Amino acid sequence: MRVVFLGAPGVGKGTQADRIAAQFQVAKISTGDLLREAVRNRTVLGLQAKSCMDQGNLVPDDVVIKLVREKLADPSCANGFVLDGFPRTVPQAEALGAVLSGKGIALDLVVNFQVPREDVVRRLSGRRSCPKCQATFHVDFAPPKVDGICDRCGEPLVQRSDDRRDAIEMRLKVYNEQTAPLVRYYDERQLLHPMDASSAVDVVFQHLSQELTPYRAT
Ligand code: AP5
């Protein structure tokens, strides 16, 4: 299975990518997670990326393309992958196509997550994340068992620096300008599959797993 999860910030791509990767035993590649790890580890890349991310802007294409190219070469991707948050621009999509065709493979599907804007803002402003294991919660929709503590690893949860109101607005603007054109890009290549992601997490997961089951063995 080789799929891309496309959609605005907060539509639930990361939440579903975790579950799909576990269910189908494929790798989850989240450029957001990889960049946040680089920021935490204060690598050169992380220091370059931090200000773009905090403001809600995209990190330069060459930086994320390099990250994804390295990840795709990893043996953990041999059984397939879910790309979460990549590609986000047409040049990134073109680079991905070139990397995959160089390996003699292609994408199976691009799932376009759709959620009304007001729901997205509510999801993002109530999100709490684990800085250690990257698990994601929501104060109303997916609260942790113990308030403020990660269920998975026990670390105190934090609010992401780009989940402030001004950064959320900027991320939605950037999405509309730079990422939304990928809907047409993948539609023209007959890869796009729309997904209503406005229901509860379990309901979305059930629909998504049904849609992805035919690609289990590819
Ligand atoms: P990234 O981490 O990819 O952020 P994003 O695309 O803005 O996506 P989010 O993580 O905000 O949302 P999501 O759709 O994954 O939703 P989630 O499942 O968490 O990127 C961060 C930054 O890194 C970018 O702004 C950019 O600077 C940089 N970057 C990353 N990739 C890049 C690239 N390719 N090129 C350039 N720069 C890049 O859910 C959100 C909340 O809603 C959670 O609290 C969750 O519990 C809750 N929730 C989820 N599903 C549901 C549901 N069905 N019902 C109710 N609540 C739900």
According to the model, what pLDDT value does residue 108 have? 97
pLDDT reading at 217 higher than 80: no
| For residues 81-95, average pLDDT | 98
Please write the tens of the pLDDT for every residue from 174-190.
999 999 999 999 999 99
Instruction: Give the β-pairing of 127-129 and 136-138.
Output: antiparallel
Task: Select which of 2, 13, 36, 128 is catalytic.
Answer: 13
Q: What is the mean pLDDT of the chain?
A: 95
Query: In percent, how much of the chain has pLDDT > 90?
Result: 92
Distance (Å) from CA 8 to ligand 1 centroid: 8
- Is 88 known to be catalytic? yes
Q: Is the CB of 29 under 6 A from ligand 1?
A: no
Please write the tens of the pLDDT for every residue from 33-43.
999 999 999 99
Q: Is the CB of 11 under 6 A from ligand 1?
A: yes
Q: Is the CB of 71 under 6 A from ligand 1?
A: no
Give the confidence band of 218 by pLDDT, cuts at 50, 70, 90.
low
According to the model, what pLDDT value does residue 111 have? 98
Range in 58-62, 118-122, 162-166 with the lowest mean pLDDT: 162-166
pLDDT reading at 161 higher than 90: no
**Which residue is closest in CA terms to ligand 1's atom 29?**
32
Q: Is the CB of 178 under 6 A from ligand 1?
A: no
Distance (Å) from CA 200 to ligand 1 centroid: 16
Token couple for 93? 């999509």
- Is 28 known to be catalytic? no
